[in-house]
Amino acid sequence: METIKQALEKASSLQKISDTWQLDSELLLASAIEKSREYLFTWPERELADTQLRAFQEFCERRSAGEPIAYILGRQSFWDFELKVNPSVLIPRPETELLVETALELLEDAYPGTANILDLGTGSGAIALALAANNDAWQVTAVDSSAQALAVARENAESLQIANIEFVQTSWCDGLEANYYDLVAANPPYVQEGDRHLLEGSLPFEPVSALVAGDGGLADIRTIAEQARHCMQLGAWLLIEHGYEQKLAVAKILADAGYKNIECVLDLAKLDRLTKAQFLS
């Protein structure tokens, strides 16, 4: 029989794939035995059942092949909750929390009561659910072209018991109500085809359709900028997450589409992370 301590020591092979291999191994073992990480430290000499050890070994093999921890565990923390994730949705990144923060800054003062919010390309529902959870008087519409992604987002909404949200399967703003939304948020595909980063980290395991866009990574941003104008209230804000080298290109797209008050927002690493713009005419 093998103890918790011995199993974790054997997981040192994960060093080849992960700089955080110790944390990875602890998360995987805790999941395999359906206990908390704290349990591992409290009972290091506890022996593992054969089924638990096999489950842990399978998890480690998947991680050694490069599969992201979030997909192995089936969950990922975002904002102040935990979301179900699988390979049909992008893994929510901490950087995207900046989009939520920026949206809340714009909404909380202007719309303490009702507001209509649109989240384009919702994926796991991370952005939409964070905004909907903040104020149950706000109505959030979460859009994705993928039925599989929307199924994940719906499951997350049910798990978090968030009711002020509806899910729509469509391509960006197609078929949405005109002149209706007070804020539109989007984390669209913005990686250029053939970008070397697509071969790194978790990206080879994530849905290409949610990562890559034509026109040097700008095609979907261009479409959103044009389409969103037709479903926004006057004075509404559009927030778009983009690549750190796309600030000027995104600003030009928005200006050409008639938006005003265009401003890029930096993330904690001082990188250009998202651009906000206002629809005024």
Residues 46 and 101 in one domain: no
Percent of the chain clearing pLDDT 70 (strictly above): 100
Residues 57 and 112 in one domain: no
CA distances from 273 to 99, 130, 265 (A): 9, 18, 6
Residues 38 and 96 in one domain: no
Residues 16 and 126 in one domain: no
Total domains present in the chain: 2
> DSSP secondary-structure letter at 2?
-
> Mind listing the pLDDT tens digit for each residue in 117-131?
999 999 999 999 999
Strand order in the sheet with 138-144: 165-169, 138-144, 115-120, 181-186, 232-241, 272-278, 260-266
> Mind listing the pLDDT tens digit for each residue in 195-247?
998 999 899 999 999 999 999 999 999 999 999 999 999 999 999 999 999 99
Confidence band, pLDDT 50/70/90 cuts, at residue 177:
confident
Give the separation between CA 280 and CA 232, rounded to whole angstroms: 10
Whether 127 is covered by a domain: the verdict is yes
Whether 252 is covered by a domain: the verdict is yes
DSSP letter string, 84-112: E--TTSPPPPGGGHHHHHHHHHHHHHH-S
Does residue 32 carry a pLDDT above 90? yes
> DSSP secondary-structure letter at 3?
B
Kind and range of the H or E run holding 199: none
Give the domain CATH number at 58. 1.10.8.10
- Return the pLDDT at 281: 81
Mean pLDDT of the chain: 96
φ, ψ of residue 268 in degrees (nearest 5): -65, -25
The range of the structural domain enclosing residue 48 comes to 4-66
Whether 72 is covered by a domain: the verdict is no
Does residue 266 carry a pLDDT above 90? yes
Residues 58 and 177 in one domain: no
Dihedral sign from CA coordinates of 200, 216, 100, 162: negative
> Mind listing the pLDDT tens digit for each residue in 220-231?
999 999 999 999
Residues 59 and 95 in one domain: no
- Least confident span in 50-54, 98-102, 198-202, 276-280: 198-202
Whether 243 is covered by a domain: the verdict is yes
Residues 50 and 178 in one domain: no
Does residue 109 carry a pLDDT above 90? no
> Mind listing the pLDDT tens digit for each residue in 35-86?
999 999 999 999 999 999 999 999 999 999 999 999 999 999 999 999 999 9
Residues 225 and 93 in one domain: yes
